[in-house]
Structure 1
Amino acid sequence: MDFRRLKYYRHHSLILVTSGDRQILSAIAEVLTTDKYNFITETSGERAWEIIQQKKPAVVIADWTIPDVSGLALCHRCKASLEHPELVATYFMLIVKASNSQQRQIALETGVDEFLTSPIDSAELKTRLRTGLRLTALMQSLTWTNQRLLSQNELLDALSLSDPLTRVLSEQAFDRVMPNIMQQFSEFGTYKSFGFLSVLFIEIDHFQPIVNDYGASIGDETIKAIAGRLSHACAANSLIYRNGSASFACVTPHHDTDSCIQLSLNLLTSIRKHPIAVSSGLLFPLTISIGGVVAALENQHQQFKSISFSNLVDLAQHSLLHAQKSGGDRDYIEISG
């Protein structure tokens, strides 16, 4: 996607706002109207679900407390819909009380992408909206890029870009599409002031004993929960991929190397901060290891072209091994170029 069209995308994408509290609806509507967003407000959760199915908004802002269908239930319907699998890409923002950490933990496990605190802060709302729409635009760009780059037969194999368990991007998308996406990032680097591109490999520490002791079903629930936390903790323009049974890859453009280091720290913290909860009531205090490489982009297009995707993957894998051999629950990032 041409990033110069992002402003057009923002103001032509539909935003659905649903809450039983008319003061909340009014506060959000005032901000959206001022910034000329295309939006619908709705007080009924059931009616909001009908709108979601019919109009497929890019962003849904839902209150946790809606009298007939809660915002959390709406999120679950979106992320688990069999009739409308495309709804899994809907960016879902949940309105919660600032002090209620339990609400946030449950919501993350359900698939919520972002939170707003009540009462609504207009500056916070604007920031989170820009983040959500930028991410949906990037995901749309990924689909368009696949359609341009793959032949008809290859496209049929790659139509499912989402991993069926975790709902992050699939390993197939990582293998086939990323070399071309990286080239696009180098082309857009100057325009967006992206100076660097990071490739992070993430692996769950000591995961196999959980599968051995509790079975594959509990293992799948654990992986799904971890994928949700990683997706929430990553940067707005990150692409998260499933890259093995208990592994993920994260590809992100950066303005500087420090932001990559901070991203890696955020991912580590998102897993170690709270135990992973599964439906059986079990809690697993897990950690992850991260190995990565940061390649220079800005004003170095010719140099970047000489760095192959396989080179970056090899460097990131080597870094991951270094982090694991050092004891896990840590990262090791190599700066390249």
Structure 2
Amino acid sequence: MDFRRLKYYRHNSLILVASGDRKLLSAIEQVLAEEKYNCITATDGEQAWDMILQKKPAIVLADWTLPDVSGLALCHRIKANLEHTDLITTYFILIVEAFNYRQRQIGLDTGVDEFLGNPIDSSELKTRVRSGLRTKALMQSLTWTNQRLLAQNDLLDSLSLFDPLTKLLSEQAFASVRPKIMQQFQGYGNYKGYGFLSVLNIDIDRFSEVTESYGSQIGSEAIKAIAGRLSHSCAANSLIYRCGLDEFVCVTPHHEASACKQVANDLLDSIRKHPIAVSSGLLFPLTVSIGGVVRVLDSRTTSDENSFSALLKISTEALLQAQQSGGDRIYIEESSPE
């Protein structure tokens, strides 16, 4: 992370705080003012939504019990809005009851990035906001990186960068960067200093049973919820692509080879720990299988498309092994340059 860019975000990013509890609103506003953040407030959901569309805040901090449009519904409007794609990277913090874990589970499925317990602890508030600004800056940086790769192939205008359902990077975007991806991660640019690269193939276990029993609409909602958890649980510098109906690819540079397995375990746990909730009220105890490969990046690493395709092949074979072993597990291979 470029700390000069982070400093820019701190002093120039707008934070919207929305709550019908004026005492709570005042307390949060006071803490943010003391930290010299640029802050605006709203007392109901529709007012907050109008401000979001007009002002495009970097962080939205909203109360679950917000009048007329709840904080949860407000998050859904932001994360699922196809007309305003510039809202995709908005960092959303939901204020929930301190020990209400059901609210947190539903929030994760909706796309909430972080939670803040009520009553408010000022140190926790400061930490959540700092984390949000770092994540927002990093997401913007990663988006710019992928856009530059697409622009090199003159495809930026013709390709959709984000998958419309999950808001992850799309299969088209993945196909377009594959010829350049090894060069991107070969110790240059924003990734200088990383010595390893991992590729994880992720597939939802027995997903066809969900669509056969409940239909494609419920299946789409389940995919969206799983994509939100994967995005929330991956490493900060990961790039996640939706590649196929219920398949995802996660590409991450690392300082150590062992970090790959940690990322895979975090992704696996994010799905298995809680059932997936959909709008009909159904809960699905879904799991995923993950197959991956981690490779050292050194002077022997070639930067052509064939080199990355070889990694994809290994990770696909590892995924198959994880699935044949019963699913809900990971299988990681280590690979060295030829």
Instruction: Name the counterpart of 2:188.
Output: 187
SS at match of 1:93: strand
Residues 82/200 of structure 1: CA separation in 2 closer, same or farther (3 Å cut): closer
1:48-197 to 2 correspondences below 5 Å: 48-149=48-149, 150=151, 154-158=155-159, 160-177=160-177, 180=180, 183-185=183-185, 186-188=187-189, 194-197=194-197
Matched AA of 2:170: S
Structure 1 match to 2:317: 318
SS at match of 2:235: coil
Structure (1 or 2) with the greater helix fraction: 1
Map Cα deviations across residues 115-139 of structure 1 (whole Å, 9 max, x no partner).
1222333443344334333333333
Aligned counterparts of 1:304 and 1:128: Cα–Cα separation in 2: 39
- Note if contact 1:131-1:236 (Cα within 8 Å) is conserved in structure 2: no
AA partner of residue 333 (structure 2): E
Deviation at 1:42, TM superposition (A): 2.8
Residue 198 in structure 1 maps to residue 202 in structure 2: no
| 1:187-220: CA deviation from partner (whole Å, max 9, x where unpaired) | 25776x6443322110011111222233222222
How many angstroms apart in 1 are the aligned matches of 2:300 and 2:126?
37
- Structure 1 length-normalised TM: 0.86
- C-alpha spacing 1:69/1:277, structure 2 compared with 1 (3 Å): closer
Query: CA offset at residue 171 of structure 1?
Result: 0.9
TM-score by length of 2: 0.86
SS across alignment from 1:319: helix
Contact residue 201 and residue 249 of structure 1 kept, 8 A: yes
Counting aligned pairs with the same residue, the percent is: 66
CA shift in 2, pair 1:209/1:89, >3 Å:
same
Report the Cα distance in structure 2 between the residues aligned to 1:182 and 1:99, rounded to whole angstroms.
45
Cross-structure match for 1:224: 224
Q: Is the 8 A contact 1:200 1:249 kept in 2?
A: yes
Matches within 5 A, 1:214-293: 214-293=214-293
In structure 2, distance between residues paired with 1:127 and 1:276: 28
Distance 1:21 1:121 in 2: 16
Indicate conservation of the 8 Å contact 1:146/1:155, yes or no.
no
Structure 1 residues 104 and 310: CA distance shift in structure 2, 3 A: same
Supply the distance in 2 between the matched residues of 1:310 and 1:108 (Cα, whole angstroms): 33
Q: Residues 318-337 of structure 1: matches in 2 within 5 Å?
A: 318-337=317-336
- Offset, 1:294: 2.3
Aligned-pair Cα RMSD in Å: 2.7
Greater shift, 93-102 or 131-140, is seen at 131-140
Provide the secondary structure at the position in 2 that maps to 1:155: coil
Number of aligned residues: 332
